[in-house]
Chain A
Amino acid sequence: MNIIVCIKQVPDSEAQVKIASDGKALDLDQVKFVLNPYDEFAVEEAIRIKEKKGDGTVTVVSLGPPRVKDALRSALAMGADQAVLLWDPAFEGLDSHGTAVLLSRYLAGQTYDLILLGKQAIDDDMSYIGPALADLLKLPLVSVVTKLEFSPDYKTAFAQREGERGVEKIEVSLPAVLTAQKGLNEPRYASLMGIMKAKKKEIQEVNAAALGMEGSGTSDLVKSRVTKLDYPPKRPPGKIVPGDAATAAKELVRLLREEAKII
């Protein structure tokens, strides 16, 4: 069973990010990066599937600059077997679509039974790559999965999705693209041994030429551009309703009804 997990490196959720001077990108100079938390669920699930089945390989793949190797090593430290980084200076400025196209070109040349991803990355929240990969690779997609099981021959996956109003159970034939939701599992912490092993592993690097885009550049891959980034509006200050309990309560009800219009 060969499982491929596509991951993304994202700024730590606790990092304070600033908008760069051009107003179109984030200033990531001082930011600490981590493996996207939803991708952690995907990596964990892949390792568990392999451990349970007793054979197979887990390959983590990412597209991004050399710093992304840290995220790949995090996945290796958790127990992934091999890692691949797609990078070339020519990839600078790719949008989600371009990224999906290049990932699909790489994956087209690989053998796999399952492709796992997080349901979205916590930096841009696009939720683009999973569905796009399925489309480009002509594979079935089940997104936002909270539970995953397999038929005894591992030809069929039984996925569960949870909505606000109920649970949906889906049967899907493999290979397929599945995206992981919180609750799918509890990702493990890397062991000291795992971290040491990960350090020793080679990360395979794949450049533009290897993806068949020598000289063509990425301009025809990019379909969308960020035109402007803005900070969210400051929250209006809270309001304290004065007076004794009885009058304040009346006033509060009035405000909730007439001003906030929520009751």
Chain B
Amino acid sequence: MKLELTADQQAFQEEVRKFAQKELAPKAAYHDKTQEFPVESLKKMAEMGLLGMSVPAEYDGAGVDSVTYAVVILEISKADASCGVIVAVQNSLVALPLYKWGTEEQKQKFLKPLAAGLRIGAYCLTEPNVGSDPGDMETTAVMEGDHYILNGTKTFITSAQKAETFVVFAATDRKAGNKGISCFVVDRETPGLSVGPKEDMLGVRASGTAAVTFENCKIPVGNRLGQEGGGFRIAMEALDCGRIGIAAQAIGIAEAAFEASLQYSRERKQFGQPIGDFQMIQAMLVKMATEIEASRLLLYLAAYKKDKGERYSKESSMAKLFASKMAVENTINAVQIFGGYGYTKDYPVERHMRDSKVTEIYEGTSQIQNLVIAKAIAK
């Protein structure tokens, strides 16, 4: 057993960390405030190969393993959580399904520009009235000759504001439940596709999140990903991997809050000593350090299993469930360590607290992770 990153993974980590701390972190507060989609930063990340990490070089990706993917999302999120989710969605929810399920033609046409980072992708599953069961999906795709007619609305779509390629799930047979769902690749220019106003949110405010509406969109049959009725499986497999990304994001946010807290606890003095010398403050710092480490091991385990080609659905659920809760609790404590200063926008910890909460929710709420894990451990 070896619990360390390979030399390659360390080299990737180091370079991405350097980039993220120098290029992303200084702009994070600005992006949070203005909710501006980080177009320039994404261009730089595209050049570094971060927008198609798991896609092999033959389709213009970087072709690195999932552990590297996890490490990279963590480092990006540590600097800017909005960038973290945009890159995570691009890689695991858009590029990966296209690589796994796409035909050669679809890969050439859609995957290559995504993997090279020339286009930004969005994943459209969530709907306003669909709870935990995608079988209730109201977006429909009806086949007419050589195309489908797509109708419906998807909400809270990360990157929707600027995305050019949308992976969309729609019911091709509403009576068939999960087996009646199909997956489509939709170009932003498709007539009938419209993106709503940016969602004003607590955290990840620069993630370009918005609703996407499809009104009689004509989608060529050739844009269907996988078989008709095969969409549910595609959606779920994408989310298995997506959870690795969100767990990494949560840990990145917590790590940023931890490092800021640790530094502040040495600098801030009360009662004649650094507050870090008080047991109650130490206890909060220790909880952060310990739980971040535990989360990181769960994350690496999930990614490692995926790289070995084993089932990793349970592990990625556990990593996300644990890491997201850990991030919320510890960023709340980070604000506590900073006291009144933590409550202001002069310090970054209030942003970390806001950014962390959504990690418990998107790409499967903690409740959904419970269901996944419960099913897996009952076997």
Contacts and interface: CB of A to CB of B under 8 A. Distances in A.
A192 B68 contact: yes
A190 B15 contact: yes
A195 B11 contact: yes
A199 B15 CA distance: 14
A73 B15 CA distance: 12
B19 interface: yes
Nearest to A70: B11
Best-buried of A77, A188, A191 by chain B (most CB within 10 Å): A191
Given A199-B8, A199-B11, A192 B19 contact: no
A231 interface: no
B49 A193 contact: yes
Contacts of A199: 7-8, 11
A189 B8 contact: no
Contacts, number: 41
A196 B6 CA distance: 12
B12 A195 contact: yes
B12 to A, nearest CB: 6
Interface string A174-190: 00000000000000111
B205 to A, nearest CB: 25
Interface in A162-212: 188-193, 195-196, 199
Contacts of A196: 8, 62-64
A189 B19 contact: yes
A188 B47 contact: yes
Contacts of B44: 189
Nearest to A195: B11
Interface in B7-44: 7-8, 11-12, 15, 18-19, 23, 44
Query: Quick one: which of A73, A188, A196, A199 has the most chain B CB within 10 A?
Result: A196
A189 B47 CA distance: 8
Nearest to B23: A189
Contacts of B68: 192
Given A77-B15, A199-B8, A192 B47 contact: no
B150 interface: no
B50 interface: yes
B141 interface: no
Nearest to A189: B19
A192 B18 contact: no
A195 B72 CA distance: 14
B8 A190 contact: no
